[in-house]
Amino acid sequence: MQSVEATASNTGKVGALSAPRHSKSLATLALLAVALLFWGPGVAGAVPAAVPQNPWMSPNPWNNIHNDAAFTDSYSMPGPAGSPSVDVQTFSQYTFQDPDTGQQITANTGECPAHTYDTDGNLQTVCGGYPNPFTNDFVRSIITIDPNGNLLAYKSFVVPFTNIQAALTEFGGIGYFYQDNEHRVVMGMPNGHIVAWERQPSPVSEVDRYVMARDINVTGSGGPLDGENFYALVPNDRGYIWFTTSEGSVGTVAPEPCATDCIKSLNVNHFNDGTIQERISESHPVAGRSTFQQTDHFMYRFDMASDGSPEIAWKAPYDRGTGQKPGQTSWGSGTSPSFFKIGDREFVTIFDNGVTPNIVVYRAEKYLRPGEERILAQAAPFGDRTDISDENSEIVMPGSTPDSIRIYAENNWGNESVLSTAGPLTTAGGFGGIEVWSDGRVEVLPANHTISVPSVVSKGNIADNSIITYEKRVDGWYLTALDAADLRQVLWSAWVGGGEPRFNNWYAQLSLAPGGDYYYIGTLTGVTKVTPR
């Protein structure tokens, strides 16, 4: 097995040290998984709020692109100490014996947008490959790599495309898979099947293979939703897989050993009198048996009946704006919803698409109490600015009091193509947030209007009260930590690389590795490992 990696050691030009470095043995992961069922008190006075471990997913916060089934996009374990000096490695090309055929091949992974981790702390991800203009397809792959970038497991599959620009912003399947409680990759395949891929030793290669552990035809030829396109998959706490399609279908797949009548679904367009055509272009958090999904017109809560059938529990409007904004892949909210609780009350939040957009917080329970309205609070974290669009999920963290939560949104305005950040180019600046109380009071946090965050799925860290993001400056790309209480304050920043496309992350995730010692950033040519010194 031969791995080819581009390696560089970089010294950032701006930065300040924060907390001491923390290092953890992977042997502590079992205890850590239990601890991560709760958010730690990263803010003075904050009471830990439960983030339940979904029993059908691998341990939080490493089971999907948004960390957990609630889509908090936050960690409660210390990361490495911030430093202007970092080691940078990009893992992207491998030459090896194919684990299915034994034939020697060279594979270029392309961007790997969503990060999950196995029990040994190895990265398990799905990578996009590169478009082939002669065959009009991508060779995508499921891979596992160890912390040194060595390829441990591999499975390739072909995805055809007709429009290259649309293909580069199609995140269904590749970005919105999840890792189940057996550390299998569960994803919607291009043939319309939901497949659970299990890693097994290969008889013909040192690299392990992935084999089908379960195969369900949902949208493929002969399936009940034949012709529709998968978008996202997340299981509920009974093991039913909530799935969505781009065309507005929402459904469930019963857990094994279901053999017949396993798939139940509805299409939201059957309930709007045909006056509009709703589409789905984001993923959905799950709480209990319910899931929350925004279309390009409305926000929904779906409940599951005893036979698995989805039902609309409530439907609420949001400001979808006047059109698709620069930096977005569709018209409407660009954020997957995030679910959270304050005390015994349930809430869900999105960033809308208004001319001056708002963070919107909905009461998530099925039934409202007397005098309550569905929208609890909304506020514009960037004030009256109109050059604001957000194509990534919000970050949810404990607030400054036991009765509040902080919600953060980034600005992706202007990220219209991979050329938007080439060389010295940057996008419109902005990282903002609000603090909201269970009684509806809301306070806009001090916003950072200058930091340019073109596309990364940023993360919060409750342990040190920080927001970790990937910013673009004139001289290149930086891994940067902001103070969660005052986003104008930069805690530390490290230069990762210049304005070449290989450092562009193009809507991929930023993740903290389970040992807490380094970060992975999905970039156009693979995954980039950043280790502060």
- Quick: pLDDT tens for 306-365: 999 999 999 999 999 999 999 998 999 999 999 999 999 999 999 999 999 999 999 999
Sheet holding 375-379, edge to edge: 338-342, 345-351, 359-363, 375-379
Amino acid at residue number 506: W
State how far the alpha carbon of 96 is from the alpha carbons of 1, 300, 324, 480, in Å. Answer: 5, 46, 43, 35
Distance between terminal CA atoms of the chain? 29
**The two structure tokens encoding residue 182:** 């057996």
Return the pLDDT at 174.
64
Return the pLDDT at 137.
86
Q: What is the DSSP letter of 34?
A: H
23: exposed, middle or buried (Cβ count in 10 Å: 0-12, 13-18, 19+): exposed
> Are 188 and 194 a contacting pair, CB within 8 Å?
yes
Q: Which residue ranges of the chain lie beneath pLDDT 70?
A: 1-50, 164-174
State how far the alpha carbon of 176 is from the alpha carbons of 188, 276, 334, 358, in Å. Answer: 8, 26, 14, 25
CATH number, domain containing residue 137: 2.130.10.10
Name the residue among 394, 311, 399 with its Cα closest to residue 359: 394
- DSSP string of 453-467, one letter each residue: --S-B-EEETTTTEE
CA pair distance 314, 367, nearest whole angstrom: 9
- Residue 7 domain boundaries: 2-532
Amino acid at residue number 304: M
Return the pLDDT at 50.
54
Return the pLDDT at 458.
98
Instruction: Give the three-class secondary structure for 164.
Output: helix
Which residue has 């893992």 as its token pair?
91
Instruction: Give the three-class secondary structure for 165.
Output: helix
Return the pLDDT at 165.
63
Helices (H) and strands (E) in the chain, counts: 2, 36
Amino acid at residue number 482: L
Task: Name the strand (E) or helix (H) holding 339.
Answer: strand 338-342
What total of structural domains would you count in the chain?
A: 1
Return the pLDDT at 274.
82
Return the pLDDT at 159.
84
State how far the alpha carbon of 112 is from the alpha carbons of 22, 62, 336, in Å. Answer: 26, 15, 19
Q: What is the pTM of this model?
A: 0.90
Which residue has 């304005």 as its token pair?
499
**The two structure tokens encoding residue 269:** 């367009």
